[in-house]
Amino acid sequence: MKARVHVMLKTGVLDPQGEAVRHALGALGFTGVEGVRQGKVIELDLAEGTPEETVGEMCEKLLANTVIESYSVEIV
Amino acid sequence: MRAAVLVFPGSNCDRDMAVALRAAGFDTQMIWHKDTVLPEGLDLVGVPGGFSYGDYLRCGAIAANSPICHALVSHVERGGYALGVCNGFQVLTETGLLPGALMRNASLKYICKTAGLRVETADSAFTAGYEAGQEIALPIAHHDGNYFADDQTVAELAGEDRVAFRYTANPNGARDDIAGILSANRRVLGMMPHPERAAEPAHGNTDGAALFAGLIGAFAPA
């Protein structure tokens, strides 16, 4: 089984990289891009039957820094 | 007075920190990240600058979960002292020993220059060698030094006199110009600027020497 973890900066935390991407899109002529947030996707290959809660623990302990980041887990 | 400096793969200021600690009078040894225990009777653990584990995942995140960092957390929980500089500050926030997080610089650029700092409190072993309000200059060299914490944490840090240093001209977007903070028991300091790179005349700047000298003073018999 696979799990896909999405890690994003929390709402309210400034994302300078996302802002830079937004400016670059504007420079390319794409109008109307009102905001860009950049995050990361981490794919895990897991032994069959690994509980989703275990992936949650992995996020809490290592994959996300919950001071600034939120995460979501998708079993695929 | 005994100190240890942790060494991770990718640390590059570990020897500089050891030189500064030894010059101040600490009996200092280097400790490899795979070790699981710290030597008995340590007063201070130094967490050096660099790029531990290549800054993979997040700066300091992998180091914070390394075997030696579990021992570091126990050392601090026992009331031991710890000094984290640059990547070491990032490691200390990732372990939860200090609040907040260090984010990408607002400019998105790696910044390497001398930064003006104001010493905000002399009430700690780390800053006892300075006067509160004193302005000093120390080198900074980081890509992720933009200190972030939520409003409540920032207010607590200010209210409890736990901001050790602020930038006089904010280089990286850090909240409230924060360059270094203390733990609640004032025995853990994390800071982005490098005192160990400005600790002897050959460095061209000795503003960092007072930090190490003040620290040794805290351990000297009264």
In degrees, to the nearest 5, what angle opens at C-alpha B216 toward C-alphas B206 and B209?
5
All residues of chain B having their beta carbon less than 8 Å from the beta carbon of residue A5 are: none
pLDDT at A12 over 90: no
> ipTM higher than 0.90?
no
CATH of segment(s) B2-219: 3.40.50.880
Nearest residue on chain A to B172, alpha-carbon basis: A16
Residue B222's pLDDT is: 55
Encode pLDDT of B66-92 as tens digits.
Answer: 999 999 999 999 999 999 999 999 999
Encode pLDDT of B106-115 as tens digits.
Answer: 999 999 999 9
- Closest Cα partner for B181 from B117, B137, B131? B117
Q: Mean pLDDT across the stretch B25-40? A: 95
Distance from CA of B40 to the nearest CA of A (A): 28
Q: Which residues of B are catalytic?
A: 86, 194, 196
pLDDT at B7 over 60: yes
Cβ neighbors of B115 (< 8 A, separation 6 or more) are B137, B138, B139, B140, B167, B168, B169, B171, B179, B193
| pTM, to two decimals | 0.93
Encode pLDDT of B166-182 as tens digits.
Answer: 999 999 999 999 999 99
CATH of segment(s) A2-75: 3.30.1280.10
Distance from CA of B213 to the nearest CA of A (A): 34
Which DSSP symbol is given to A63? Answer: I
The answer to whether B104 contacts A17, with C-beta atoms less than 8 Å apart, is yes
Distance CA A52, CA A54 (A): 5
The answer to whether B103 contacts A62, with C-beta atoms less than 8 Å apart, is no
Q: In what order do the strands lie in the sheet with B44-47?
A: B27-32, B2-7, B44-47, B81-85, B188-191, B178-182, B163-167, B111-119, B135-142
Encode pLDDT of B121-132 as tens digits.
Answer: 999 999 999 999
Amino acid at B70: H
Region class of B180: left (phi > 0), else alpha (psi between -120 and 50), else beta: beta
Using CB atoms, pick whichever of A13, A16, A65 lies closest to residue B61. Answer: A65
All residues of chain B having their beta carbon less than 8 Å from the beta carbon of residue A20 are: 108
Q: In chain A, pLDDT over 90 holds for what percent of residues?
A: 87
Q: For residue B192, name the pLDDT band (cuts at 50, 70, 90).
A: very high
The DSSP bridge pattern shows strands A2-9 and A40-45 to be antiparallel
pLDDT at B221 over 70: no
